[in-house]
């Protein structure tokens, strides 16, 4: 086996099992927050299920959905699910792009971020909400601010 083939295999193996700090589901330029109106409850339930977050009385999912739906119906950025749990799911605008950010509660990279965000991205695409998925963009933005590019 040539050195180039070995490097290619090693590189792809690393990508397959890579763990990330953050995931960014970036919506296309025509996206409006109100586009989430019909799917937000299902989206949040899907995130909770895929993240394996335990449904308890203290979670109070109905009030989280209600609070977010008020913003969505008024075409304002919703909060998402920003609770102290295994994963957080919140909405943001970075570099003028609307997006969902999925981040782990602890600063340690985790493969759940990759798995959950890929499923959320596919879910959104199945609902005709175009998006692209990127990883660890927050660290790039912080680095860029420090260097003042």
How far lies 113's CA from each of 6, 9, 45, in Å?
28, 23, 16
**pLDDT computed for residue 108 by the predictor:** 57
Q: What is the pTM for the complete model shown?
A: 0.76
> Using 50, 70 and 90 to split pLDDT, how confident is the model at 143?
very low
Flag whether pLDDT at 16 surpasses 90: no
**pLDDT computed for residue 54 by the predictor:** 81
pLDDT digits (tens, 9 = 90+) for 24-73: 999 999 999 999 999 999 999 999 999 888 876 666 889 999 999 999 99
Q: Which helix (H) or strand (E) holds 23?
A: strand 22-27
Task: Output phi, psi for 108, to 5 deg.
Answer: -95, 135
**pLDDT computed for residue 14 by the predictor:** 42
């Amino acid at each position: 086996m040539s050195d180039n083939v070995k490097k290619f295999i090693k590189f792809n193996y690393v990508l397959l099992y890579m763990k990330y700090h953050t995931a960014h589901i970036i919506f296309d330029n025509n996206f409006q927050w109100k586009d989430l109106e019909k799917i937000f409850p299902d989206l949040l339930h899907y995130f909770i299920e895929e993240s394996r977050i335990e449904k308890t009385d203290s979670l109070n999912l109905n009030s989280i959905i209600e609070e977010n739906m008020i913003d969505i119906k008024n075409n304002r950025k919703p909060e998402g699910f920003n609770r102290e749990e295994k994963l957080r799911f919140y909405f943001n605008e970075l570099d003028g792009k609307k997006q969902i950010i999925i981040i782990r509660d602890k600063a340690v990279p985790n493969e759940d971020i990759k798995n959950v965000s890929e499923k959320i991205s596919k879910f959104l695409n199945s609902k005709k909400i175009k998006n692209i998925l990127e990883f660890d963009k927050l660290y790039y933005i912080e680095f860029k601010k420090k260097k003042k590019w």
